[in-house]
Every structure is written in structure tokens, then in C-alpha cells.
Amino acid sequence: MNSKKIVITGGPGTGKSTLINHLIKNGHTCLEEISRQVTLDAQKKGTSQLFLTEPLLFSELLLKGRIRQFEQSNYLKSDFIFFDRGVPDVLAYMNYIGDTYPQYFIDACKKAVYDTVFILKPWKEIYVSDNERYESFKQAEEIHDHLLSTYQHYNYNLIDVPFGTIEYRTNFILNALKQ
């Protein structure tokens, strides 16, 4: 079975995790965001914000995790496999901070090809900062722009998910996939 690989992306605080959790609750196969776990692991080792102190190491850990998720998805049996962020997200964030990255980051984006990418815009009404999300709303908007340009660079046609209830957003995505 060739499952369709579906990315749900967007800057911080756009409702991605809530959407993924809702899809999971409704029986869909989802691979969750891994950056929070990378951040929490670093905090346990004494680094409060690995992305800020060692962005390349943080991004390498994310890239490895996202590549692993992509490869694992080839063995899952489901019509659709949803990813909370894709491999190009790593490059978008590196571009956002203006850091350089090795060629294998680019190669990974070319190799891990997704079928459909949905993007969620920054949503001021639901935006909250916390221990793992340190960005301001303005920074979330800038990250959104980098996500758009990075995915477009790799020839993805992004589908914008409108604001609305979790049910509305979920139905929007599922209906778009039926077309």
C-alpha cells in the first residue's frame, strides 16, 4: 500500500499539535512533532534552549528524527500518514535564524518528498508562549514566511488551512484530500 504522506506545517502557535491530536483521536495515522522532545531532552542535560545555543546541533537532531519518521512511514498501513512538520521545516528555521547548514540538509529535502502540504497561518487569538515556545507573535509571522518560501523552493503547492474550530479545520483537510 502506498500511503499518501501529508505534512501539516506552520509557525509556532498555529494549532498544528491540536490538529494532529484531533486527527489521532479520530483514528488517523499521525507522526507527532519531535522538536519539543529534543528541547526537553536538552533541558534534562542542562541546556535550556538548544535551538538558541546550538542551532546546528538542534537542527541535526530534528533532521535525523524527521528522516526517521519519513522512512518509518513507508511501513505504515494507512491511506494517509500525517506529519506534524516535515523535513523542509528544518531548513526554514535555519533560514529564519540566518544560519548555514551542510549540503545533506538540502539533500534530505530532495529525498523526502511528501504528497501534500497544508500550512497554518499564525493566529493571534490562540498564540501562547511557553517553556518550549519562546518566539513572539511577530517572530511566528516571520517563521511562517520562511516556511512558505522553503516549501515553495522544493516545489510544493501549499494548501492554506483557514482559521476555525478544530472540527472545521480537520474537515477542511480531509475534504481537500478527497479531491
pLDDT tens, residue by residue, 44-89: 887 677 766 777 888 898 999 999 999 999 999 999 999 999 999 9
Query: What is the DSSP secondary-structure string of 107-131?
Result: HHHHHS--SEEEEE---GGG----S
The proportion of the chain whose per-residue pLDDT surpasses 90, expressed as a percent, equals 66
pTM, two decimals, is: 0.90
What is the pLDDT, as a whole number, of residue 99? 86
Assigned C-alpha cell, 119? 500550512
pLDDT tens, residue by residue, 124-153: 887 776 655 567 788 889 999 999 999 999
List C-alpha distances in Å: 2 to 9, 71, 76, 106. Answer: 22, 13, 9, 25
Based on the structure, what is the number of domains in the chain? 1
Q: Which domain holds residue 55?
A: 4-178
In this structure, are strands 80-84 and 116-120 parallel, antiparallel, or unpaired? unpaired
Distance CA 147, CA 96 (A): 9
What is the pLDDT, as a whole number, of residue 160? 97
What is the pLDDT, as a whole number, of residue 28? 96
CATH number at residue 60: 3.40.50.300
Give 112's pLDDT tier (boundaries 50, 70, 90).
very high
The proportion of the chain whose per-residue pLDDT surpasses 70, expressed as a percent, equals 94
Looking at per-residue pLDDT, the higher value among 58 and 170 belongs to 170
For range 8-19, the mean pLDDT: 90
> For the chain, what is the mean pLDDT?
90
Assigned C-alpha cell, 45? 542535560
